[in-house]
Amino acid sequence: MSRDWTFDPGNWNIICDVCGQKYKASEIKKRWDGLFVCAQDYEERHIQDFIRVKPDKITVPFIRKPEDTFLVTCDVWGKHSNSDYGRADCMEVGYALYSQQELVSEFPLV
């Protein structure tokens, strides 16, 4: 396809922003995203770009005040220094329900 690149008053040469080909200004269209493109690269804006959805109402039905929080109490088992028995923020270093000698005397291995 040969194009006539001769002088035409009011119809200047322009380059397509997508394909980079040289066209006359009368052959170029401005696309929805602001690019000046030829007829082959021109496309309408998609219809789903105009859809407006209702915002989600993401709230909880009630809010608990800080004074309504649960209190964790430390009991005898929570104070145990063994990690299997102790509870966080309740454990005491060296605390045990039974000493080693009490366990040996109560539960002999023989």
* pLDDT, tens digit (0-9, with 9 covering 90-100), for 2-12: 466 677 788 88
- Domain finish residue from 58, 80, 101: 58
Inform me whether the pLDDT recorded for 1 exceeds 50.
Answer: no
Are 68 and 51 within one domain?
no
| Alpha carbons within 13 A on the beta-carbon side of 72 | 9
Say if residue 30 is in the same domain as residue 40.
Answer: yes
Domain that holds residue 109: 60-110
Is residue 53 domain-shared with residue 67, that is, in the same domain?
no
User: Is the pTM of the predicted complex or chain greater than 0.85?
Assistant: no
For residue 28, the tally of other CB atoms under 10 A from its CB is 19
Which residue has better confidence, 71 or 56? 56
| Residue 20 structure tokens | 């980079």
Q: Are residues 51 and 69 in the same domain?
A: no
Same domain, 49 and 87: no
